[in-house]
Chain A
Amino acid sequence: SQKIEQNSEALNIQEGKTATLTCNYTNYSPAYLQWYRQDPGRGPVFLLLIRENEKEKRKERLKVTFDTTLKQSLFHITASQPADSATYLCALSDYGQNFVFGPGTRLSVLP
């Protein structure tokens, strides 16, 4: 069965450092991968999308890499700020309408 893992349930880093979150998957060949941010008591909010034929995508302080050989995506937040503290979810999808979400990593950026 399809399985998605995110490196850790919780990650603490110091303000100004780069946060790196990992998403690994098995038994799946996604067409693309998305990263979402979820704050407590709110719905997930889309951040970045990367396609299977893309290696890297950037948006401001965010960077996503996608390695379909390793079946892994890395999500980086550079110059992290306390406001970046949230749960980050990766989601895989094929060309249909089925989305599979990972369990999320709760990031805490300490001042």
Chain B
Amino acid sequence: DTAVSQTPKYLVTQMGNDKSIKCEQNLGHDTMYWYKQDSKKFLKIMFSYNNKELIINETVPNRFSPKSPDKAHLNLHINSLELGDSAVYFCASTQFRRGVSTDTQYFGPGTRLTVL
């Protein structure tokens, strides 16, 4: 059974389009993340959701909007796609315990987004 899954694995689209990437985890974790890995392989956190509440929102354009219908899902919707959005997007999950060392993160396989 896949712990963290993402769909689609590849996404090729035109500038200006709106697209969504879906993420699901079956680990029972209460915290999920979206990361962006650019061409230089830097992995940067975009969002964190804990119990369906947005906890972290780094300096990400508001064209990106995370949506969490329930604890097991965190989808990423992107409006008006730009060339610079091309990257690999990873979903991850963990079990957060405040004041205690957080458990490890489990990553999905990634979604390679190409904006033409």
Interface residues of A, Cβ cutoff 8 Å to B: 31-32, 34, 41-46, 49, 51, 87, 89, 91, 93, 95-101, 103-104
Contacts and interface: CB of A to CB of B under 8 A. Distances in A.
Nearest to A43: B107
Interface of B: 4, 31, 33, 35, 40-45, 48, 50, 55-56, 90, 92, 94, 96, 98-102, 104-110
B107 A44 contact: yes
Contacts of B104: 34, 46, 49
A49 B94 CA distance: 14
Nearest to A98: B56
A100 B100 contact: no
Contacts, number: 64
A95 B105 contact: no
Contacts of A43: 4, 90, 92, 107-110
Contact of B110 (A42, A89, A101, A103): A42
Given A43-B90, A89-B43, A104-B43, 17 more contacts: A34-B105, A41-B109, A91-B105, A95-B98, A95-B100, A95-B101, A97-B31, A97-B48, A97-B55, A97-B94, A98-B45, A99-B33, A99-B45, A100-B45, A101-B43, A101-B45, A103-B42
Nearest to A44: B107
Given A95-B98, A97-B50, A46 B106 contact: yes
A93 B102 contact: yes
B104 to A, nearest CB: 4
